[in-house]
Amino acid sequence: MKFRAKIIDIGCLNHLTRVVTTISKLTKTCVLRLTADNLFFVLSGKVANGGVSMWCELSQVNFFDEYQMEGVSSEANEICLEVTAENLSRALKTVQNSKVVKVKLTKKHCPCLTVAAELPTLSSVSRVVTHDVPVDVIPRRLWHEFKEPSMPDFDVSIYLPPLKTMKNVVDRMKNLSNFLVIEANLNGEMNLKIETDLVSVTTHFRDLGNPPWGKDPGSQDGGRSQGRDPDSMAHARVDIRKLQQFLTGQQVNPSKAMCNIVHKRIVHLILLHEDASLQYFIPAVA
């Protein structure tokens, strides 16, 4: 098992830091899966974290100038590590202005992801800062828990409004209630609702547009959203904190933001960036 990677480009370093920081806002610990082509940050839905799951996919060539990895074996050429996202984010944040950043898997007192940064210097002596982020190596028999989640057979898929607007609304609603109903239809309309003894609030978004999933070859043909009345709403009631976490964590404006709703079951949020994608699943509550 071997992993070493190198970033020279400051833009890439910046971008990776933002992605890891976003992840750290969503979850305390997550699983970092390394393959020959990709890095995945994975959180699988467990009762302990309220059933929320996450899948973040980065293509290594877009971030690293050098990337070498050797998995546990040639037929299972992968590495799975459990890492505290915040520790990694903090390590990356402090090395923002370095010339070169190397990330490697090391064995110190325990397995670590070592972030070594070479800082700019005026003299001939180089300055190197090293952060050891402890990790747990996940044995192969548990890998099955961290596979890419399948696209749920949703009732409605819709583009999200500007995340900042949505965040403002959800932040206020959070002050008023613990649960929020998110509903949408195939006519580009989405509502966010709360209702308590004191107040009921509904925010209506219109003309959002619905992603054309059905036209993609081989995906969602004959799914639940086919032949659905465009005005009929699919809804899911969710823990408002989970949605808030997702919206608070967003540091970069995605090129596409979408939401899929399985009626009364799950809210599936997807953010697409040029070189990264994030999926977030919030289970509905009764």
Nearer to another protein, 132 or 195 (CB): 195
Query: Which helix (DSSP H) or strand (DSSP E) does residue 172 occupy?
Result: helix 163-176
Cβ atoms 227, 214 nearer than 8 A: no
Which of 251, 283, 265, 220 has its CA nearest to residue 22? 251
Alpha-carbon distance of 173 to 201, in angstroms, equals 8
What letter would DSSP give residue 261? E
# chain residues binding another protein, by CB under 8 A: 21
Nearer to another protein, 7 or 192 (CB): 192
Helix, strand or coil, per DSSP, at residue 14: helix
Alpha-carbon distance of 133 to 85, in angstroms, equals 10
Shortest spacing between CB 233 and another protein, in angstroms: 12
* Residues in contact with 56: Cβ distance below 8 Å, sequence separation at least 6, in sequence order: 19, 23, 40, 41, 42, 276, 277, 278, 279
Question: Residue for token digits 């997550």?
Answer: 30
Binding track over 122-161 against another protein, x by CB under 8 A: ---------------------------------------x
Shortest spacing between CB 162 and another protein, in angstroms: 9
Q: Does 175 bind another protein (CB under 8 A)?
A: yes
Alpha-carbon distance of 221 to 223, in angstroms, equals 5
Shortest spacing between CB 235 and another protein, in angstroms: 16
Nearer to another protein, 121 or 251 (CB): 251
Shortest spacing between CB 240 and another protein, in angstroms: 13
Q: Is the dihedral of CA 30, 33, 39, 44 positive or negative?
A: negative
| Chain-centre distance for alpha carbon 69 | 23
Considering only 168, 219, 232, 255, the residue that binds another protein (CB under 8 A) is 168
Alpha-carbon distance of 27 to 33, in angstroms, equals 16
Shortest spacing between CB 273 and another protein, in angstroms: 24
Shortest spacing between CB 167 and another protein, in angstroms: 8
For helices 10-26 and 240-248, give the axis angle rounded to 10 degrees: 170
Residue type, 189: E
Nearer to another protein, 75 or 207 (CB): 207
Binding track over 197-236 against another protein, x by CB under 8 A: xxxxxxxxxxx-----------------------------
Nearer to another protein, 171 or 216 (CB): 171
Nearer to another protein, 59 or 191 (CB): 191
Nearer to another protein, 121 or 165 (CB): 165
What letter would DSSP give residue 94? T
Query: What's the token pair of residue 209?
Result: 């547009």
Within residues 50-89, the interface with another protein by CB under 8 A covers none
Stretch that binds another protein, among 2-10, 25-33, 116-124, 191-199 (CB under 8 A): 191-199
Nearer to another protein, 20 or 194 (CB): 194
Binding site for another protein (CB under 8 A): 161, 164-165, 168-169, 171-173, 175-176, 197-207
